[in-house]
């Protein structure tokens, strides 16, 4: 099997002393080995980024912007090739892989506006003959640790903003689907990015710990599960680093009695089962306001999922592909098999669906009469399982959402503008959709949740990413007339 290695200072490197296996989720067969970086190899990538920093930081904004304009076109031109890489290692269907690339391109387009985004402020004559201006400067070497579920989109969310701001980057992608990160690094360099500005280290906890502990890494951006996000935040912050660590989610979709139930059912199926539910913004809880609404929705969702086509992501007929690993598939299935014992009703049991071959496939599941306190409700399942929680009123729905430890995304389906506006006001969640089931903001806004879905104070991509990847410096200057020299021991005053 071919060995997937690191990309450091513009060249592939890495030994095979420690390796992991990269599977084809559709067949269950091992297709590659991936090098797992040692601390020394990770330190080499950090050193390469540190060496490239002075030159890249001094590169003009216009030349930096040119890289992103060229990168955007390369991503468009080679989207089919990149999507095939995603599908081969992640398993998602090709159309979903192309959608991921498209959303990543949005942040490349945003980063291309860096000349505007990095503008400072200036105040003239704050005191007699004194001016003040501020500038935004890079923080230095940045570590980006990304998840398996979006091997292109999330790296582009992080690296584009970080590099545009003048930083250099060490990217540590998931070892489950590592090839896309190498493809991106080569596209960046083809677009004109100097070697060493973006380095890719394949690996596991050993590499991550080295990044968190290195004094040369000044900021860490992470997306993953809540326990790991919390751990990374605490360790990196203790080492004096700036940190944004995005954690897990349990996204609720509230359906009011006046909603278009057919549209709501279509949205629930798409948002719950797309990409096999392996999305941090997937709808995993359908909150039906009133039993009549719940009964109708359960019937409509069950009817729709009966016709879903599950198969290899390379098959144009497939609407949903496999899960990332056999272990993850079995864990997801355990929530469904355990739901009945907790008092829930398994309306559609995806664990009973049979698939030919050894791929990591799992059918979709629909579980009704779910309540807080059940594992199927409390845990982030990250698979094709949709829970239905029945509530009696709008207020009960809002309380349910606001008391969840996760607060990544939520949505309300209603025809009433007043209800929608009140929901937007009342809800304590970072991203809200109104008749939109997956409210991922466009690139000009920022992505992130509240509570246990985010550790740190900055959301990812968009305007908040510029704040995260830069430090503000304020300069106070005075150019007095040489003939007016004087000495004053008093405290400086702006009068």
Residue 472 near residue 121 (C-beta atoms within 8 A): no
Q: Which two tokens stand for residue 54?
A: 């002075």
Backbone angles phi, psi at 254, to 5 degrees: -90, 130
d(CA 87, CA 72): 21
Tokens of 88: 């081969």
Count of alpha carbons within 13 Å of 316, Cβ hemisphere only? 0
Which helix H or strand E contains 413, and what residues bound it? strand 409-413
Name the phi and psi angles at 199, rounded to 5.
Answer: -120, 145
Which runs of E-coded beta strand occur in 247-310? 251-255, 283-289
Main-chain phi, psi angles of 163, to 5 degrees: -70, -40
Q: Which of 48, 280, 420, 438 is catalytic?
A: 280
- All residues at 6 or more sequence positions from 439 whose CB lies less than 8 Å from its CB, including other chains: 281, 409, 410, 411, 431, 432, 433
Q: Where are the beta strands (DSSP E) in 304-400?
A: 345-348, 365-368, 385-391
How many angstroms separate the CA atoms of 49 and 163, rounded? Answer: 11
**Distance (Å, whole) CA 286 – CA 386:** 7
To the query of whether residue 165 is one of the catalytic residues in this protein, the response is no
Token readout for 393 is 């009123």
Count of CB atoms within 10 A of residue 349's CB? 17
The DSSP result for 3-32, as a single string, is EE-EEETTEEE--SSSEEEEEETTTTEEEE
* Angstrom distances, CA of residue 135 to CA of 68, 94, 129, 141, 265: 22, 43, 20, 19, 49
Beta bridge partners of 310: 320
Which residues, other chains included, contact 373 with Cβ-Cβ below 8 Å and sequence gap of 6+? none
Q: Are 112 and 69 in contact (CB under 8 A)?
A: yes
Tokens 């006001």, located at residue: 425
How are beta strands 406-407 and 450-451 bridged, if at all?
A: antiparallel
Q: Collapsing DSSP states into helix, strand and coil, what is residue 475?
A: strand
Q: Rounded distance, CA 71 to CA 419, Å? A: 43
Phi/psi at 140 (nearest 5 deg)?
A: 130, -135
Catalytic residue IDs: 280
């Amino acid at each position: 099997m071919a060995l997937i290695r690191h990309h450091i200072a513009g060249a592939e490197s890495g030994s095979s002393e420690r390796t992991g296996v990269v599977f084809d989720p559709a067949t269950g067969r091992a297709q590659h080995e991936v090098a797992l970086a040692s601390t020394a190899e990770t330190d080499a990538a950090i050193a390469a980024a540190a060496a490239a920093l002075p030159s890249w930081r001094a590169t003009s904004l216009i030349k930096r912007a040119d890289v992103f304009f060229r990168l955007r076109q390369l991503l468009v031109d080679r989207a089919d090739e990149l999507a095939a890489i995603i599908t081969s290692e992640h398993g998602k269907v090709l159309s979903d892989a192309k959608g991921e690339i498209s959303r990543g391109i949005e942040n490349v387009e945003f980063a291309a506006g860096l000349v505007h985004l990095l503008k400072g402020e200036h105040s003239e004559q704050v005191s007699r003959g004194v001016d003040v201006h501020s500038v935004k400067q890079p923080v230095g070497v940045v570590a980006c640790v990304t998840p398996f579920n979006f091997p292109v989109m999330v790296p582009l969310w992080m690296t584009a903003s970080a590099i545009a701001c003048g930083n250099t980057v060490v990217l540590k992608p998931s070892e489950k689907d590592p090839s896309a990160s190498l493809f991106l690094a080569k596209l960046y360099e083809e677009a004109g990015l100097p070697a060493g500005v973006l380095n890719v280290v394949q690996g596991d906890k050993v590499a991550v710990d080295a990044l968190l502990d290195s004094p040369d890494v000044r900021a860490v951006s992470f997306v993953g599960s809540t326990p790991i996000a919390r751990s990374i935040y605490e360790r990196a912050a203790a080492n004096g680093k700036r940190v944004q660590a995005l954690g897990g989610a349990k996204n609720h979709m509230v359906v009011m009695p006046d909603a278009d139930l057919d549209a709501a059912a279509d949205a629930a199926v798409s948002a719950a089962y797309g990409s096999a539910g392996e999305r941090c913004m997937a709808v995993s809880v359908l909150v039906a306001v009133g039993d009549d609404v719940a009964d109708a929705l359960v019937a409509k969702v069950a009817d729709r999922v009966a016709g879903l086509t599950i198969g290899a992501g390379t098959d144009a007929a497939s609407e949903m592909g496999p899960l990332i690993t056999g272990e993850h598939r079995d864990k997801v299935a355990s929530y469904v098999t355990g739901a009945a014992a907790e008092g829930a009703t398994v309306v559609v049991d995806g664990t009973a669906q049979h698939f030919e071959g050894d791929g990591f496939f799992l059918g979709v599941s629909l579980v009704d009469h779910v309540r807080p306190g059940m594992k199927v409700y409390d845990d982030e399942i990250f698979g094709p399982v949709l829970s239905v929680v029945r509530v009696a009123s709008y207020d009960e729905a809002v309380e349910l959402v606001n008391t969840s430890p996760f607060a990544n995304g939520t949505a309300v389906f209603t025809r009433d503008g007043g209800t929608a506006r009140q929901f937007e006001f009342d809800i304590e969640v970072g991203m809200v959709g109104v008749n939109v089931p997956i409210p991922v903001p466009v690139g000009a806004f920022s992505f992130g949740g509240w509570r246990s879905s985010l550790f740190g104070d900055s959301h990812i991509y968009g305007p908040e990413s510029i704040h995260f990847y830069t430090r503000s410096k304020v300069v106070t200057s005075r150019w007095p007339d040489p003939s007016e020299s004087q000495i004053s021991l008093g405290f400086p005053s702006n009068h």
